[in-house]
Amino acid sequence: MTIKVGDRLPNATFRIMTDEGPKTSTTDDVFKGKKVALFGMPGAFTGACHGKHMPTVFQNIRALKSKGVDTVAVTTVNDPFVLGAWQKAIGTNELLLLGDGNAEFASAIGLTFDGSHIGFGTRSQRYSMLVEDGVVKQLNVEQPGKFEVSGGDTLLKQL
């Protein structure tokens, strides 16, 4: 079942890269008591994610935070080492990059797709959501192959 506005996020564990190496972070760690702009992307460094989607998030971090967002986070079906390299390539520590290497979170919220035909395996769909204290307040899910509603600018307009 796909998550919808009004639903509480399921319990999940993410992998994040820290200065001390990979660590785990739960949905409670990330979302409890906070307003979070969460962006789901299929994979770090991929053409649309790196070249189109991430720039809309990066360019809107401060504007999102000025509207009361505590954390701007991106989740992909990658390991924390890849996300650590992506963080360096992006050049900011203002984003929280959440590794969902086995697509457990993406599966739990019903937002996966099968990219096996191009060697990607199970991936997260492209989306954006506003989460307040673990509850989904806004949700924008892209149609496969599209990039029209999941960018940082769209979520900013909804605040």
Report the C-alpha gap between 119 and 134 in whole angstroms: 33
- Which of 38, 49, 98, 109 is the catalytic position? 49
SS3 100: coil
User: Do residues 70 and 35 lie in contact, with contact meaning Cβ atoms separated by under 8 Å?
Assistant: yes
- Radius of gyration of the chain from its Cα atoms, rounded to whole angstroms: 14
User: Do residues 122 and 107 lie in contact, with contact meaning Cβ atoms separated by under 8 Å?
Assistant: yes
Catalytic (active site) residue 136:
no
Residues catalogued as catalytic: 49
